[in-house]
Amino acid sequence: MPPPPPPLGRGRRRAAQVFDEALDDTELVAARTALTQGRWQSARSLLARTGDEWDRRGHRVTVLAAEPYCAAWTREWLLAEPESADASVLLAVALVRRALRGKETPQAAREACRSAAGRAPADPTPWLGLLMLARERGPERDVVRLFEEVRARYADHHHAHHLMVAWLAERRADAGPDPLHEVYDFAAWAAEQAPADSPLAILPVIAHTERYRALAAAGLAPADPVTSGHWAGRRARLVMKAAFDWWLEWEQDDHPRRLIDLNFLAHAKVCEGRSAEAAALFHRIGDHVTPQPWSYPGRDARTAFRAARASALGTA
């Protein structure tokens, strides 16, 4: 039998103290709440409705999979519906997230992902799970191969591109600032390959910020991103301007992970000293703060976000 869910009061208190990966997806929040109580039918309905919206499916599966009892309740779902591809995928990613927390063996997570991929060959989500695991635990050759497996199924996969940028940014960190670093080339290439309405247009900003994280962690960039000078160069300014101009014209405001991009873009505008542009982004973000990049490097993300927002909005 799976373990019982935590008392509702304790769960609510805990949720109030952490960042919410669900962002503004209210359907996902409701299904996650039901899942913590053992009612997996809500997750079943949610994933069925999501269909092949691959970015949304990946977002919803990874958030549901983060719940401590997700694997246990999803096994209950599989007992009821042994052929369910959705249940198989959710279990696989739940085991990945457990493995990343040291609660499951990486081999068991990999096997579950491969099994799920066999049941849903068109779905990039099992491969996303494998990429999440390889990014932290796997050899270098696996990261590139798994990223290509995701792209073969959905070329513009948002989460997979973010994982690749974060991974590439950490390469050759000891070389110091390098405007020709491979992460910049990758981000520029991905943005150029993506459709005009794809949020991957902001990927060069993500790359610039992730490279700062890697340099600061190596002691080769100041710990204060605002005074680091990392966003002061001509190349950085061009990247930031292009990304902000694109955002002003972007008409699709329903991408499931857009608030992650907006947090990165607001952070970059704060570091660049463009308070008015940052203020516009903070208004769109509302309370949906994400840990990255406000925690870079080693800062309390919520405190950093609030200070930056207050400064940009003139309420400090």
Q: Report yes or no: 79 and 73 within 8 Å, Cβ to Cβ.
A: no
Tell me the DSSP string of 184-232.
HHHHHHHHHHS-TT-GGGGHHHHHHHHHHHHHHHTTSS-S-TTTSSTT-
* Section 244-253 average pLDDT: 84
For the stretch 270-315, pLDDT in tens is 999 999 999 999 999 999 999 999 999 999 999 999 999 999 998 8
Whether the full predicted model's pTM is greater than 0.75, yes or no, is yes
For the stretch 25-39, pLDDT in tens is 999 999 999 999 999
How many C-beta atoms lie closer than 10 Å to residue 104's C-beta? 17
Percent of the chain with pLDDT over 90: 85
Q: Which residues fall within 8 angstroms of residue 243, CB to CB, at 6 or more apart?
A: 201, 202, 204, 205, 265, 268
How many C-beta atoms lie closer than 10 Å to residue 173's C-beta? 18
Q: Domain spans of the chain?
A: 24-154, 166-315
How far apart CA 126 and CA 132 sit, in angstroms, is 10
* Section 240-255 average pLDDT: 88
Query: What dotted CATH number matches 24-154?
Result: 1.25.40
For the stretch 155-197, pLDDT in tens is 999 999 999 999 999 998 888 788 889 999 999 999 999 998 9
* Section 65-78 average pLDDT: 97
How far apart CA 262 and CA 271 sit, in angstroms, is 14
* Section 108-136 average pLDDT: 98
Average pLDDT of the residues of the chain: 92
Q: What pLDDT was estimated at residue 316?
A: 63
Helix 258-272 vs helix 234-249: angle between axes, to the nearest 10 degrees? 140
